[in-house]
Amino acid sequence: MSGIKDPRAAGLAALAGLIADETRAACLLALLDGRAWTAGELARHAGVAASTLSEHLDKLVAGGLLAQERQGRHRYVRLAGARVATLVEDLAAQLPPAEGRRPVRGLREASAGSAMARGRTCYDHLAGRLGIALTDALTARGLLRQDTGFALTEAGLGWFAAAGIPLARGGRRPLARACLDWTERRPHLAGVAGAALCRHALEAGWCERIGSERAVRVTDTGERELSALLGLSPGALR
């Protein structure tokens, strides 16, 4: 039986091939912190030689998954955009909880993993138990709807405005989007609203980054503000 091959098939296969390498996958996961990394930093993170990593980065840049720039002798790379971050995070969320995880090596690594589960950035929005707590609070107060996909209500738009959190509307990125949390196995808020909330939380000192990973924690200021704005108790934010 003959048929017409879908013209997207070759492109999809090529995209899957880009990700289907452990070193390249490690780089993509590291870059979910939303920052630019040097090639040397990624090489150390992935545990490969700089020359080997350079070849992988060339493929990811050529395939449109990474963007790069050079400053002096340093080569910086970052995810090409929110759509790439969504793709990587959604794929990671499909993994069974225990599949492929090596044993934790020592108390320091266990503490880092626990911190990531409590709260972290997922590219440019908040994830982990912190992200889920914020999403649930917005939903419970009628600011966010989840029944037909994520959408801010009129009250939600007013809440962001009253909190001094501007929303960059008008682009192709959805205002609110569900992102499946790979540790909590539930959706947290992403999209324009998720990114704006995360940015404001860091800039206003509600949250602060800890360690060299994506982990964040809520500050005393953040506990007071989020309690006032969303009725969240300190226990829900830790």
| Prediction pTM value | 0.72
| C-alpha to C-alpha distance for 151 and 175, rounded to whole angstroms | 7
Residue 97 is predicted with a pLDDT of 62
Beta strands in the chain (DSSP E): 37-38, 66-71, 74-79, 120-122, 125-127, 144-145, 151-152, 177-180, 187-190, 207-209, 216-218
Mean pLDDT of the residues in the chain: 86
Over 80: is that where the pLDDT of 132 sits? yes
Residue that wins the pLDDT comparison between 97 and 49: 49
Q: Which domains does the chain have, with CATH numbers?
A: 9-80 (1.10.10.10), 88-96+108-237 (no CATH)
Residue pLDDT, tens place only, 109-129:
444 557 778 888 888 899 999
Residue 85 is predicted with a pLDDT of 87
Range from 34-38, 93-97, 170-174 that averages highest in pLDDT: 34-38
Mean pLDDT (whole number) for 67-86: 87
